[in-house]
Structure 1
Amino acid sequence: MSIRHGVTTRRVASAALLATALTLPLTACGGDDGGSAKDKGSSSAPAATGNSKPQDDGGNTVPDTSKTLATVNGNNGFQFVIHSAVRDQGGFLTVTGTLKNTSGKRAFAPIEWNGQENNVRRTGRSLAGITLVDKAEKKRYYVLRDTEGFPLTTTGITSVDAGDSGVSFFAQFPAPPDKTSQVDIQIPLMPTATIEIS
């Protein structure tokens, strides 16, 4: 009985030691990756709400409407007015604009604007389906995601009433190379438009 008890005790102690030994490296690696991922997420969040986009009292992003880079009209009555495409510190490109309804009746945002990824679908309505195309470099850029899979873009747009002055929006992308001065913006179900990067 004492021999069996000793073997069982040694097995339990060995298993505990092995579990501890395996947990420490994994925790160290996971901590470092999680920390750097959080740093990336936190550094991109201020860029999404930085000085280039003033906020109203409700904390919503308000684009500078004094400039228009492009106006994109869709068959569904929606109109995207792109006001800026600004390189932010840290290698991001933030596009801001206003979404309007020109149809004369309430228009519902198409689900295609959300994007196709499972992680993005679970976050609800968004503009994560918008992409930028750098024709010179032959690259496509997607809306950035934070560490939890949420897109760094305006969310919660389900409909826009007729006669509404417009809904402010933003979308943040990886910045193309510095030599790239123009990109095509592609919004699902809408025509493509070329915008200047500032």
Structure 2
Amino acid sequence: MDLRDSKSRLILIVAALGAALVIAVASCGGGGGDEGNEDDGASETSQETEDGGDSGDDEQTDDAEPGEGEAGAVLAEVTGEQDITLTITSAERQTGGFLTIEGTIHNGGGENWGTAAWAGDERELAGNDFSMAGATLTAREEGKRYLILRDTEGRCLCTGFGLQIEAGDTMSWFAQFPEPDPGTTEVDFQIGQMPPATIEIR
């Protein structure tokens, strides 16, 4: 009785091992090919991206063309007074009949710098102190000079800098003016004792 049981158990074990071996061979034969194909596809996709063939980012980069009025573009740059560099990066006509000028000021001197003279000679703007309040636009095509826009209390629609710009610092600024005539394509921006900066507008 024990001998028969032992034989039965041995037969069951051998059958189980055989079935497991068949399953293992089938898995190795089919799975290896699939994995290889998947790797090949991933490699091709990676190569196409590196070559710039199918990258969505590359298409956006190709379409983006820098132009006037875009952030980061330099429309004009002048240096004057105490190693102060004034850069204009944007000049845009906007709804409402005004022109917004934007840019940066860099203090390239060895000392902190600030001046209330940039508020201009107008008594109404004197309270703006060190700011872009005294900036003007000259449209030579029209023979006109445009002054900064201000509210009813004499506060300019422009950037105020506080007391000083520290040595080596760069600050962003904006200034708003009445919009020049539609046919005007060029204006001179000027403030304080800085040289005029000629910019094109659309």
TM-score, normalization by structure 1: 0.63
Give CA deviations for 1:133-161 in whole Å, capped at 9, x if unaligned.
Answer: 00010000000011221111101343222
Larger proportion of helix: 2
Residue 99 in 1 paired to residue 105 in 2? Answer: yes
Aligned equivalent of 2:85, options 70, 73, 79: 79
Q: Tell me, which stretches of 5 or more residues in structure 2 are unaligned?
A: 1-68
Between the two proteins, the alignment pairs up a number of residues equal to 134
Q: Which amino acid aligns with 1:137?
A: E
CA contact (8 A) 2:146 2:177 kept: yes
CA contact (8 A) 1:77 1:107 kept: no
Q: Tell me, which stretches of 5 or more residues in structure 1 are unaligned?
A: 1-62
Q: Which has the larger radius of gyration?
A: 2
Moved over 4 A (4+): none
Identity %: 43
Q: Which amino acid aligns with 2:73?
A: K
Question: Residue 111 of structure 1 corresponds to which residue in structure 2?
Answer: 116
Residue 192 in 1 paired to residue 196 in 2? Answer: yes
2-side partners of 1:186 and 1:84: how far apart?
15
Question: Residue 153 of structure 1 corresponds to which residue in structure 2?
Answer: 158
Aligned equivalent of 2:186, options 182, 187, 190: 182
RMSD: 1.6
| Residues 1-198 of structure 1 mapped to structure 2, 5 A cutoff | 65-103=71-109, 105-164=110-169, 166-198=170-202
2-side partners of 1:120 and 1:106: how far apart?
26
TM-score, normalization by structure 2: 0.62
Give CA deviations for 1:25-60 in whole Å, capped at 9, x if unaligned.
Answer: xxxxxxxxxxxxxxxxxxxxxxxxxxxxxxxxxxxx
